[in-house]
Amino acid sequence: MKTLFKNIKQLLQVRDSGVLKVSGAEMKELPSISNAWMLVEDDRIADFGSMNDAYTGDFDEAVDLNGKMLLPSWCDSHTHIVYAGNREQEFADRIKGLTYEEIANRGGGILNSAETLQKTSENELYEQSARRLEEVIGLGTGAVEIKSGYGLTEDAELKMLRVIRKLKENYQLPVKATFLGAHAIPSEFKSEPKIYMDLVIEEILPEVARQELAEYIDIFCEKGYFSVEDTNRLLTEAKKLGLKPKIHVNQFHSIGGIKAAVDHGALSVDHLEVMTSEDLEILKNSQTIPVALPSCSLFLSIPYTPARDLIDAGLPLALATDFNPGSTPSGNMNLVISLACIKMKMTPEEAINAATINGAYAMELSEEVGSITRGKKANFIVTKEIPSYTFLPYAFGTNSIDSVYLNGKILQHESAKSL
Ligand SMILES: N=CN[C@@H](CCC(=O)O)C(=O)O
Ligand SMILES: [Zn+2]
């Protein structure tokens, strides 16, 4: 099946194969073709060019995109989409003056979500999570990473990871799974946190690896959660089982998590709201990609990741949602790119690069998705008629998406199932 998309106002993020991420000043460039065509053959991008050099080959169907733009789907490399229930009561409590930390200290926060998830059946958890996944696909996400970490017992962590596996099987977008058993210390281990780490490392992790339920390992390396020593221990063991680190660091404090991550060859370090110059230097000498989560900063009123410092130091940067019930109850990558521009002073080109090709890199998917490249998966967004691509982050809160495609097929009725 060959479909020709013609009269595309602008075809965005056009790259040769081999560009797996963009760093520093490269992020200012968003290669594009104005007045373009693109040919999709089955589930792949087959070819593209300028309408001035029109496509003359055969095709089965033509779609006229007069005035509309086409860009690769968003690649959301950090989410916690699989969770049960919500935490809107904590939201109201924070408005009244309690802090995120105070709520966590009185047994709320991650432990609150874990209690709910433990009581929720696997089927119900799947149904709630599938609804969220369908919502974000409709918002233009075409590849996603999903973490466990709201189970905090062997049974509940494995339940979460089985739900992620089922989402992978049932939905037509690449899904990567991350084991985040070290997300918070359950209350029963409060006085002996080491025993919980022993459980995660000696019991749960080997089972996750045996059942091949996750590609990545994560830990919340933060004061009051897990130490650098815990991080080193976990990452050492996970590596032996073939799980690469993508870890939560520097959300509230810089305690040495970035160094530990880089020492263990982490694929990404995520959050980074609090950065020291030493942290920046360590990243400059590494292959680890920083990931910023601006919707979390908005929701918790905490600092934004210093994107300018990172990019101006020549580093790559990816943007992701962090979709979760506590710190970011939103999986909207369109809002993420707006916040990146408005609050982090990223240019529209930098934000779109960070949310597409660099997001794909942060999931080891940039040979498959993240740019308009011959041979890549035809996962893309068609915009409404908009004046320029800058309109996407500029018109924050506006839905500028006309339609989304996964594997060359248009999403019907808000559902990406069984395309
Ligand atoms: N910071 C750690 N984990 C999540 C939030 C967890 C929660 O509050 O439920 C995050 O990435 O923001
Ligand atoms: Zn997170």
- Rounded to an integer, what distance in angstroms lies between the CA atom of residue 102 and that of residue 158? 29
From the CA of 193, how far away is ligand 1's center (Å)?
19
| Mean pLDDT (whole number) for 21-32 | 98
Q: ipTM of the assembly? A: 0.98
Q: Is 290 helix (H, G, I), strand (E, B) or coil?
A: strand
The pLDDT value given to residue 418: 44
**Residues 38-47 pLDDT 10s:** 999 999 999 9
* Residue range 139-161: mean pLDDT, rounded: 98
Q: Where are the domains of the chain?
A: 2-72+371-410, 75-361
Closest residue by CA, ligand 1 atom 12: 327
Pick out the residues of the known binding site for N-formimidoyl-L-glutamate.
150, 324, 326
Burial class (CB in 10 A: 0-12, 13-18, 19+), 27: buried
Residues linked to residue 281 through DSSP beta bridges, in sequence order: none
- The share of the chain scoring above pLDDT 70, in percent, equals 98
H helices of 211-250, where?
228-240
Q: Is the CB of 326 under 6 A from ligand 1?
A: yes
pLDDT (0 to 100) of residue 417: 54
- Residue 1 DSSP label: -
pLDDT of residue 105: 87
Residue from 82, 220, 297 to probe ligand 1 pocket by mutation (most atoms less than 8 Å from CB): 220
Handedness of CA 278, 280, 281, 287 (dihedral sign): positive
Q: Does residue 324 line the site of ligand 1, with CB under 6 A?
A: yes
Q: Over 80: is that where the pLDDT of 137 sits?
A: yes
Cβ-count burial of 184 within 10 angstroms (0-12 exposed, 13-18 middle, 19+ buried)?
A: buried
Superfamily the domain 2-72+371-410 falls into: Urease, subunit C, domain 1 (2.30.40.10)
Q: Which residues contact 210 (CB under 8 A, 6 or more apart)?
A: none
Pairing of strands 175-182, 216-221: parallel
Q: Tell me the percentage of the chain whose pLDDT exceeds 90.
A: 96
Residue 250 has pLDDT above 90, yes or no: yes
What CATH number is given for 75-361 in this structure?
3.20.20.140
327 within ligand 1 shell (Cβ under 6 A): yes
Tokens encoding 346: 């990223």
CA–CA gap between residue 212 and residue 241 (Å, rounded): 10
* 78 C-alpha to ligand 2 centroid (Å): 6
Tens digit of pLDDT for each residue in 42-66?
999 999 999 999 999 999 999 999 9
Please state the residue numbers annotated as binding site for Fe(3+): 78, 80, 248, 322
Nearest CA to ligand 1 atom 11: 322
419: pLDDT strictly greater than 50: no
Compute the distance from residue 388 Cα to the ligand 2 centre, in Å. 32
pLDDT at 413 over 90: no
